[in-house]
Structure 1
Amino acid sequence: LISESLDELSEAELIDLLLHKNLELKAEDFDEAIIKDTIKNISQLKTIQDKNGEEGCNRYAISNSEDIFSVLFVFGLFRWCGWESDKITFDIIPLFETMDGMDTSENTMKGLFSIPEYQAHLKQRNKKQTIMLGFSDGTKDGGYVKANWSIFKTKERLSAVCDQNNIKAIFFDGRGGPPARGGGKTHRFYAAQTKDIANNEIQLTIQGQTITSTYGTKEQFVHNCEQLLTAGLSNNIFGKENIITKESRELMEELSELSFTKYDNLKQHPMFMSYLENMSTLKYYQKANIGSRPGKRGNKKKLELSDLRAISFVGSWSQLKQNVPGYFGIGTAIKTLKDQGRLQELKDLFNEVPLFRALMLNSMMSLSKCYFELTSYMKDDKAYGAFWNILYDEYMLSKEMLLLISDFKILMEQEEVSRESIKIRENIVLPLLVIQQYALQKMGQGTEFADLYEKIVVRSLYGNINASRNSA
């Protein structure tokens, strides 16, 4: 099929191969399951469109996009599976979900728009380019503040690139339930967009139990759709007033980097993955069949953070009632600037910049759902005691600093209904969480009833996630 090794080709040669080489791919010509499945999948897409029209299936998203080849390999695959270059009836959607991917996204899209064949493809797709941004994996990679700030800046840059190329940018946000996965009060985020971000449509993923809790009844559906609609209208009407000054941007940048450094140090801690594997429900997520995808990527024996799916990663912290991805690093970042005598700057940022206020209020939600008393027995653990205390100290500091810059006396002070709703639901799940922790401890000690305790953990996962409403 292709005699050359792709690794030995120059970038120009690889682009030429993907755009111009004529091949016919058949699943039966390959032995590797993933290659066979990919070819079958693309062939099935053609069948779906033949039977149901283009509306039946018309988008192909590529996760972990970091360069133009994420898109061009898909373009080439479609060509080699029966589509003509100028008749590919699919939107090819890059998903930028890591800090590196977001940093290179501007050059990626510029590179794609400079290719005549891709320009022709976009022309027959009505000159629209859908771009996904991953809040879940972004937060796992960069921490809460840096991920959200990076996504915001990426949207601004990509909006400009699309505008310069006369392309309509549509942002499709990969969001989960909790703030750590882009959830929380989502409408706040959209109402806080600036005029420099394309606001043609709001597209976002609604996953897991969030579908039921947010759109499960007619009343909920109407209310939450109204929230998104008014967020978009608010942005169109008042977005020009959401101007983030140079000074505010520099302050956001400082907070972003300070919080990332604290979070990254935690990720590099020698006990980080071991703590999740041995002290949380991480390994049981797959057995509970929760989430739209497997709990981790690949089949490596040693678990690595990059292999973890965001649902199981964020969900495991939620089951521990520690919610680390939703706040970790914020306390340290704010305190660092406060100690430099810049508290008033931080208060002004909270009161005057809607984006920062939205992020901090959502982080307050994450903190409100923490209950470190559940795992306080860990603070004296020989292996994990010191690590638990790192988490607890940052939790306490983040709570203190957020109350300080907001002038609130309690978290979520101005959201009485949501605050009380959280309190009720947390009281409901606490007995289940206590039972779950007991079962985890018993399995850690070694017991002849390991199978029974494992069932308790798995069954408690269902109840906790559904009752908590947006924990995964």
Structure 2
Amino acid sequence: MKLSTKEAVFQNEVLTRFELFKSLFLTLPFQQVKDTGTLLPFFAQHCEKGVEKHQTPEEIINSFFVQHELYSDEQTQVDLLFRFVQYIERQVVLFDAIEDSSFKAIGKTDQSSQLGSLIKSSEINPELKRKIVGKLKDFSVRLVLTAHPTQFYPGTVLSIINDLIGAIKENDIHNIHLLLQQLGKTPFINNNKPTPVDEAISLAWFLENVFYKVASEIQTYIDDELGIETEEVRQLIELGFWPGGDRDGNPNVSAESTKKVATLLRTILFRCYYRDFRVVKRRITFRGVEKYMDNLQELFYENSFNPVENPVDETAQIVENLKAIQVVLKEDHNNLFVEIVDDLLRKVMTFGCFFTTLDIRQDSSILTQTFEYIIKKYPEETGISADFSSLSEVDKQTAIDFKELDLAFDEEATALEVDTLQVIRLLKDIQKSGSERAAQRFIISNCQQASDILGLRQLFLWSGWKKDTLTIDFVPLFETVDDLTRAADVMKSLYTNKEYAKHLKLRGNKQTIMLGYSDSTKDGGYLMANWSIYSAKIELTAIAREYDVDLVFFDGRGGPPARGGGKTQRFYASMGEEIANDHIQLTIQGQTISSQYGSLDTARFNIEQLLHAGIISDLKQRSGDTLTPHQKGIVDKLADLSYNKFMDLRKNPLFLSYLENLSPLKALSSINISSRPVKRNSDKELKLKDLRAISFVTAWSQLKQNIPGFYGVGTALKWAEQNNLWKDVQQLYLSSGFFQTLIDNCMMSMTKSNFDITSYMQYDEKYGEFWKMLHAEFLITKEYLLKLSNTSKLMENYPIDRESILARENIVLPLLIIQHYAIKVINEGKLDEKKREAYAKLIARTIYGVVNAGRNVA
């Protein structure tokens, strides 16, 4: 079969080089590496043939060992399987590094030039330039790093990948060989579950090594190209941070860990400044700057290496001294080396003394519990009746009178109540140390009514904060299908509340609303989740415009399309007139961080893509991006049909049992990937509503079935064809960027599915019919997606991404066979404790490898 040009480039730049460099593993001076590396290709091929024949994992693995008599006893077999897993883990790292080193060669940057082309066009089009500059005055992209466990490289491995990328770019075989040796010796997993602070340290690697440089570079490029004066600069790229602040469902986060993370972020930032300042100091050796250089030396050094207990924001001092140096260089030294001073100044103006905004998040039930603790402890002071919880929503809103008090709490409070009240007070100290931007948002998960937000504001006013200096944004998170339906009514109640309206005015009339994709998909399926959020955005925008509120949508997106990932920049470029899009805010997590922002090239590309999407959606909106009432009716019907199909699946009595017994769902709770439990109410029997969306989606992806990313879509599209709406759906796909991206991302989920791996399940006495039902919907969805996109294979329009996904799926196929084999052995229940532990460890390690390989989300 003849390859397309892009496929040929990928073949030469990535796949061929991967095969070449992969051979270096065989030369590593480690015991048994050569034997493992020699046998692995035979094992991989054996797995492929076994899958083609629809053999069970036991049949595949047992028949392999029959051919290799050296591994005749169970212990040596398990040892070899474990070495295969370790070997493949490192192959995945090598593939990551090769792919990233080839980033420009395989054409990824073709799209990133869109922003540059747009800005270049403005040089000869003053009207376009005026519009772009006007747009940028009230536009920003905020990337919020979360510790959600969807990718498991520790910081040490990330550093090796980074160095490997450089060595591969230079074709430095000697250094590549040394780095592969380092990789062979470096552990991939934690011996203990990470704490929230550990997670922050791990993610800080990206802040220090990528975002610190890239964010200021892009800002400088745009400002210089558009001729924007430094004094008028509006920060375009903002960073947010959840480790240490996100306590929703994570009892391991405390006010103490929040304080440690805030201190950590500040200290790391100053060390970045200090490294840059040493370059400045080495070059700026002229008369007239001594005093300013001494001031900066002390500021940067002391904050880097001798941080005090309660620091203050020293941004203004730093800026003042850097600007003074600029003046001396201009007036006395012909601007010699002024560019390195400019660069440091821009970074300081971008990151201040805080680096990234630390968000606080907690579930509404905990906040309500804390509120009720206070009114029961202080009935007279608060003036609120102890039967508050039994009041109607309207009466609750009336009862909250926003009285300013400074109340204490004691041992009667639960740990979660104490943490809530402590962190509310701690936020004042964090803001003193790094300005309001250091920590200014409190996100209310599971927000269901206006009193959830009003009650939280009241908790702040009972904890010493004053109304006129309450520098906190209260951010409701709407996630389930029902919550999204009610969201507009909730916000209208807030906008019409006189006290809350005053607070909004204090906050520049800007309201941030978070919308979560993960639980929406788990709750209602792929199509309904995305359509519910899109519809909610239209309603919420209309309400905000009615009350003259500047609305900011903050999207809780995960890595895979089933959790809101995929071609996210295309969503933002196609929001249409009915959706507020002046600010783009989204979570990035797990493999999304390493794949999209793990290197300078990829980070610059993806940030510029988002910036371009936000600008172009306003300046050059396509008429088809604002859906007509008829089109909305069609999508609404498709979403309903898909939802019903998904809910029938969820209600199937085998649904949860299938996941528990055939996927590695149980193993997710035992591996050291996150400080947060795999499910809420972790000490109770598993219920779907308690299962975290990450665990839910990960379990399906390990089965290579990816149900949350497509199930119900095919049934809905078939209905459209049978009811004479197919031409309308086709037109929708061609004209609406939102709908096209929705369908294309669904194809990505399906490309990463492989029902052949689990085809043996169709013969299972208990789950056979259930598997067939899943497979039937996969086939019908594939048929209609290909028909709708007028293509012959999934993701045909994205050949580079398709080839990358298929290559990675091929690498991890042996891991999946080993994993499913180990699950079956454990489920049979015939093992002693020692052997059971060995197989459980085998499952855990395969999970790491499969997830790390599945980084293709954009």
Alpha-carbon offset, residue 24 of structure 1: 4.1
2:762 aligned to which of 379, 393, 412: 379
Structure-1 separation of matches of 2:492 and 2:674: 34
Alpha-carbon offset, residue 193 of structure 1: 0.7
Alpha-carbon offset, residue 26 of structure 1: 3.2
Structure-2 separation of matches of 1:364 and 1:191: 20
Larger radius of gyration: 2
Aligned to 1:389: 772
SS in 2 for 1:103: helix
Deviations 1:239-281 (A, max 9, x none): 2622312221111111010000000111111111111111111
Structure-2 separation of matches of 1:19 and 1:322: 52
The one-letter amino acid paired with 1:326 is: G
Tell whether the 8 Å contact from 2:709 to 2:750 is kept in structure 1 after alignment. yes
Structure-2 separation of matches of 1:96 and 1:248: 25
The one-letter amino acid paired with 1:222 is: R
2:658 aligned to which of 259, 268, 275: 275
Structure-1 separation of matches of 2:753 and 2:846: 18
Structure-2 separation of matches of 1:419 and 1:240: 27
Alpha-carbon offset, residue 416 of structure 1: 0.7
Aligned to 1:189: 571
Deviations 1:212-260 (A, max 9, x none): 1110000001111121111112211232622312221111111010000
Alpha-carbon offset, residue 359 of structure 1: 0.4
Matched, 1:218 2:600: yes
Aligned to 1:318: 701
Q: Does 1 or 2 have the higher relative contact order (CA < 8 Å, sep 6+)?
A: 2
Tell whether the 8 Å contact from 2:700 to 2:707 is kept in structure 1 after alignment. yes
Aligned to 2:528: 146
Shift in CA distance, 125/68, structure 1 to aligned 2, threshold 3 Å: same
Matched, 1:461 2:847: yes
Structure-1 separation of matches of 2:666 and 2:464: 41
Aligned to 1:173: 555
After superposition, where does 1:17-416 map in structure 2 within 5 Å? 17-21=399-403, 23-239=405-621, 241=623, 242-290=625-673, 293-299=676-682, 301-416=684-799
**Structure 2, unaligned runs of 5 or more:** 1-377, 380-384
Alpha-carbon offset, residue 47 of structure 1: 2.4
Alpha-carbon offset, residue 302 of structure 1: 2.2
Of 6-15 and 157-166, more deviation after overlay is shown by: 6-15
Alpha-carbon offset, residue 194 of structure 1: 0.7
Deviations 1:392-425 (A, max 9, x none): 1111111011111221111111111111111111
Tell whether the 8 Å contact from 1:332 to 1:394 is kept in structure 2 after alignment. yes
Shift in CA distance, 277/127, structure 1 to aligned 2, threshold 3 Å: same
Deviations 1:320-357 (A, max 9, x none): 10000000000111112212233222222221222111
| RMSD, aligned α-carbons | 1.6
Tell whether the 8 Å contact from 1:291 to 1:311 is kept in structure 2 after alignment. no
The one-letter amino acid paired with 1:265 is: D
Structure-1 separation of matches of 2:402 and 2:612: 46
Tell whether the 8 Å contact from 1:27 to 1:40 is kept in structure 2 after alignment. no
SS in 1 for 2:758: helix
Deviations 1:348-401 (A, max 9, x none): 222122211110000000000001122122211122112111111111111011
SS in 1 for 2:471: coil
SS in 2 for 1:383: coil
Structure-2 separation of matches of 1:353 and 1:20: 45
Q: Which runs of 4+ in 1 moved over 6 A?
A: none
Alpha-carbon offset, residue 181 of structure 1: 0.5
Shift in CA distance, 100/288, structure 1 to aligned 2, threshold 3 Å: same
Shift in CA distance, 470/32, structure 1 to aligned 2, threshold 3 Å: farther
1:451 aligned to which of 812, 837, 840: 837
SS in 1 for 2:742: helix
Structure-2 separation of matches of 1:125 and 1:269: 48
Tell whether the 8 Å contact from 2:537 to 2:579 is kept in structure 1 after alignment. yes
Shift in CA distance, 377/27, structure 1 to aligned 2, threshold 3 Å: farther
Alpha-carbon offset, residue 141 of structure 1: 0.9
Alpha-carbon offset, residue 27 of structure 1: 3.9
In percent, how many aligned pairs have the same letter? 45
Shift in CA distance, 119/375, structure 1 to aligned 2, threshold 3 Å: same
Tell whether the 8 Å contact from 2:557 to 2:563 is kept in structure 1 after alignment. yes
Structure-2 separation of matches of 1:251 and 1:23: 53
Tell whether the 8 Å contact from 1:208 to 1:292 is kept in structure 2 after alignment. no
The one-letter amino acid paired with 1:42 is: I
Of 161-170 and 320-329, more deviation after overlay is shown by: 161-170
Structure-1 separation of matches of 2:407 and 2:777: 53
Structure-1 separation of matches of 2:477 and 2:856: 23
TM-score of the superposition, structure 1-length normalised?
Answer: 0.96
Shift in CA distance, 292/407, structure 1 to aligned 2, threshold 3 Å: farther
Tell whether the 8 Å contact from 1:48 to 1:56 is kept in structure 2 after alignment. yes
Alpha-carbon offset, residue 196 of structure 1: 1.2
Structure-2 separation of matches of 1:256 and 1:13: 36
The one-letter amino acid paired with 2:796 is: E
SS in 2 for 1:239: coil
Matched, 1:9 2:391: yes
Alpha-carbon offset, residue 14 of structure 1: 2.4
Structure-2 separation of matches of 1:228 and 1:291: 29
Deviations 1:275-299 (A, max 9, x none): 1111111122232243574211123
Q: How many residues align?
A: 471
Matched, 1:442 2:828: no
Shift in CA distance, 10/266, structure 1 to aligned 2, threshold 3 Å: closer
The one-letter amino acid paired with 2:594 is: T
SS in 1 for 2:442: strand
Structure-1 separation of matches of 2:432 and 2:740: 48
**Structure 1, unaligned runs of 5 or more:** none
Alpha-carbon offset, residue 470 of structure 1: 5.2
TM-score of the superposition, structure 2-length normalised?
Answer: 0.54
Tell whether the 8 Å contact from 1:322 to 1:371 is kept in structure 2 after alignment. yes
The one-letter amino acid paired with 1:192 is: S
Structure-2 separation of matches of 1:394 and 1:15: 46
Alpha-carbon offset, residue 10 of structure 1: 4.0
Of 282-291 and 354-363, more deviation after overlay is shown by: 282-291
